[in-house]
């Protein structure tokens, strides 16, 4: 019998961050189990094709609180400037770090590199037990505890189970907590691109007739690309060879980064808003992509999940004798709902506005971009959400 205070399903970015944050906040006195199905110990060099995510300034501040940022920063590329534009039209806006008194608007990190950092930190914390690779078979709950059975017949007991295992969460399926799904009717094509000119920390969000195209700065003269297209256009993009793809990308994006020199392997996945209206249940909480999976426009997904983590840690800290009690989980749900709703509404609205080629919509959004660039009353809400400086 293995007894813990908290059991976390999922040991990737969200689950590992939560485990390390709880350990830091409780001074190593909380017994934590992390169950991860993939072997995260494999020493795989990230290489050219490593996947990346953007961390907002607000997320970096949270990571600093948990003493995690110093370990991550050597692998992070700062974003000093965000340029937003509508292809073929005059509307555009720029957000720069320096006028805001910031050293960076955010940072881009490669998941493979941060994964190795987190794996090392998890192993160094004596209060954290890592079960990996391991899969959850059954979940049972009583009034005072949660009982987890793994596929290898190991049984774990805890006071609180937390799902951090993505939008197809095994735990949520076990407990019958379904998600609402909205299909954006777009597919994201992801790849890394090598460019001919220094990116100088610039990030780009360019709206095209097929959907948004984002390029984020990475190390070694690379950009992390997310190109959203309609499903009927996907074959015309994925079927191209590398040179043909680079030409199509150059045409869609332009020459602000010079010539697109090289593209890595391309991966495509359908874009859907997945949202669970309940983020808690009896001795159970849901965070990150298991709670909500957003469209990648504006890069809000992981940053919203980090705010889930920070709020959950805040609430359970008030109840060290029983971290899974109802009062802590109810407070977590109540505090998170406004931020979740506003962030989902913002990203979904941006998708619909900037994927609409109806002429009045095109005129309206371009006037909006120009107004944001010149009117602080419109610019401030965009900055607040982009920088992750929102109440939680």
What is the model's pLDDT at position 4? 98
Task: Please indicate, yes or no, if residue 104 is contained in any of the structural domains.
Answer: no
Task: Please indicate, yes or no, if residue 247 is contained in any of the structural domains.
Answer: no
Q: At 369, is the pLDDT very low, low, confident or very high (cuts 50, 70, 90)?
A: very low
Closest CA to 158 of 170, 171, 145, 168: 145
* CATH code of 289's domain: 3.50.50.60
Q: What does the alpha-carbon distance between residue 64 and residue 47 come to, in Å, rounded to a whole number? A: 27
Residue 144 scores a pLDDT above 60: yes
Q: For the chain, what percent of residues have pLDDT higher than 70?
A: 86
Q: At 95, is the pLDDT very low, low, confident or very high (cuts 50, 70, 90)?
A: confident
What 8-state DSSP symbol labels residue 144? S
Helix (H) or strand (E) holding 123: helix 111-124
Q: What does the alpha-carbon distance between residue 290 and residue 172 come to, in Å, rounded to a whole number? A: 8
Q: At 87, is the pLDDT very low, low, confident or very high (cuts 50, 70, 90)?
A: low
**Cβ-contact 259, 195 below 8 angstroms:** yes
What is the model's pLDDT at position 385? 65
Q: At 381, is the pLDDT very low, low, confident or very high (cuts 50, 70, 90)?
A: low
Task: Please indicate, yes or no, if residue 171 is contained in any of the structural domains.
Answer: yes
Return phi, psi of residue 261, to 5°.
-95, -35
More reliable by pLDDT, 74 or 38: 74
What 8-state DSSP symbol labels residue 356? -
pTM of the model: 0.90
Task: Please indicate, yes or no, if residue 151 is contained in any of the structural domains.
Answer: yes
Distance linking the first and last C-alpha atoms of the chain: 37
Q: Which residue has the tokens 């039209």?
A: 89
Phi-psi region at 339: left, alpha or beta (left = phi > 0; alpha = psi -120 to 50): alpha
DSSP sequence for 16-84: HHHHHHHHHHTTT-S-EEEE-SS-TT------TT--EEEEEHHHHHHHHHTT-HHHHGGGEEEE-EEEE
| Torsion angle, alpha carbons of 68, 72, 78, 84, to 10 | -80
What is the model's pLDDT at position 210? 73
Helix (H) or strand (E) holding 183: strand 180-195
pLDDT, mean of residues 109-120: 92
User: What's the count of helices (H) and strands (E) in the chain, helices before strands?
Assistant: 11, 22
pLDDT, mean of residues 283-307: 91
Task: Please indicate, yes or no, if residue 299 is contained in any of the structural domains.
Answer: yes
Closest CA to 9 of 240, 235, 285: 285
More reliable by pLDDT, 80 or 367: 80
Per-residue pLDDT tens digits for 169-195: 999 999 999 999 999 889 999 999 999
Q: Of the spans 229-238, 262-271, 280-289, 292-301, which averages the highest pLDDT? A: 280-289
Beta bridge partners of 79: 106
**Cβ-contact 207, 87 below 8 angstroms:** yes
Closest CA to 59 of 342, 224, 287, 300: 300
**Cβ-contact 61, 155 below 8 angstroms:** no
Measure Cα distances from 204 to 52, 106, 165 in Å: 15, 13, 30
Return phi, psi of residue 134, to 5°.
-155, 145
Per-residue pLDDT tens digits for 218-256: 998 999 999 989 899 888 888 899 999 999 999 999 999
Residue 68 scores a pLDDT above 50: yes
What is the model's pLDDT at position 58? 93
What is the model's pLDDT at position 236? 85
Angle (nearest 5°) at CA 322 between 319 and 325: 85
What is the model's pLDDT at position 92? 61
Task: Please indicate, yes or no, if residue 160 is contained in any of the structural domains.
Answer: yes
Helix (H) or strand (E) holding 354: helix 326-354
Structure tokens at 194: 């090598």
**Cβ-contact 365, 91 below 8 angstroms:** yes
Q: At 358, is the pLDDT very low, low, confident or very high (cuts 50, 70, 90)?
A: very low
- The total number of structural domains in the chain stands at 1
**Cβ-contact 197, 170 below 8 angstroms:** no
What is the model's pLDDT at position 383? 67
The mean of the pLDDT values for the chain is 87
Residue 90 scores a pLDDT above 50: no
pLDDT, mean of residues 124-133: 96
Task: Please indicate, yes or no, if residue 192 is contained in any of the structural domains.
Answer: no
pLDDT, mean of residues 341-348: 84
Q: For the chain, what percent of residues have pLDDT higher than 90?
A: 68
Q: Write out the residue range of the structural domain in which residue 308 sits.
A: 2-45+113-180+272-348
Task: Please indicate, yes or no, if residue 157 is contained in any of the structural domains.
Answer: yes
Q: What does the alpha-carbon distance between residue 168 and residue 181 come to, in Å, rounded to a whole number? A: 12
pLDDT, mean of residues 300-310: 94
Q: At 20, is the pLDDT very low, low, confident or very high (cuts 50, 70, 90)?
A: very high
Environment class of residue 6 by beta-carbon count within 10 Å: exposed (0-12), middle (13-18) or buried (19+)? buried
Range of weakest confidence among 2-11, 248-257, 358-367: 358-367
């Amino acid at each position: 019998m293995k007894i813990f205070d908290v059991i976390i399903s999922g040991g990737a970015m969200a689950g590992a961050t939560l485990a390390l944050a709880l350990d830091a906040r409780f001074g190593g006195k909380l017994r934590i189990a992390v169950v991860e199905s993939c072997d995260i110990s494999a020493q795989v060099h990230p290489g050219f094709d490593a996947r990346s995510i953007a961390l907002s300034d607000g997320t970096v501040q949270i990571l600093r609180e948990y003493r995690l940022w110093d370990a991550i920063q050597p692998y992070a590329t700062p974003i000093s400037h965000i340029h937003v534009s509508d292809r073929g039209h005059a509307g555009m806006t720029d957000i720069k770090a320096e006028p805001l008194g910031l050293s960076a608007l955010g940072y881009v990190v490669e998941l493979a590199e941060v994964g190795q950092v987190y794996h090392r930190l998890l192993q160094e914390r004596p209060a954290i037990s890592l079960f990996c690779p391991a899969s959850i078979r059954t979940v049972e709950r009583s009034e005072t505890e949660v009982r987890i059975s793994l596929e290898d017949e190991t049984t774990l007991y805890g006071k609180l189970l937390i799902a951090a295992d993505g939008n197809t969460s095994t735990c949520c399926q076990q407990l019958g907590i379904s998600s609402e799904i909205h299909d954006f009717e777009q597919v994201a094509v992801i790849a890394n691109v090598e460019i001919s000119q220094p990116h100088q920390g610039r990030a780009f969000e360019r709206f095209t007739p097929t959907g948004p195209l984002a390029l984020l700065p990475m190390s070694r003269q690379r950009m992390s690309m997310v190109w959203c297209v309609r499903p009927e256009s996907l074959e015309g993009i994925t079927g191209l060879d590398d040179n043909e793809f680079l030409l199509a990308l150059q045409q869609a994006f332009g020459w602000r980064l010079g010539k697109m020199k090289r593209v890595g392997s391309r991966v495509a996945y359908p874009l859907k808003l997945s949202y669970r209206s309940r983020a808690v249940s009896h001795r159970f909480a849901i965070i990150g992509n298991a709670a909500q999976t957003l469209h990648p426009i504006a890069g809000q997904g992981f940053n919203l999940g980090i705010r889930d983590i920070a709020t959950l840690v805040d609430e359970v800290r008030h109840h060290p004798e029983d971290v899974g009690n109802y009062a802590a989980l109810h407070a977590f749900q109540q505090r998170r709902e406004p931020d979740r709703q506003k962030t989902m509404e913002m990203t979904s609205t941006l998708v619909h506005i900037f994927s609409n080629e109806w002429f009045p919509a095109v005129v309206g959004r371009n006037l909006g971009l120009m107004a944001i660039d010149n009117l602080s009353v419109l610019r401030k809400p965009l900055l607040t959400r982009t920088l992750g400086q929102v109440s939680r």
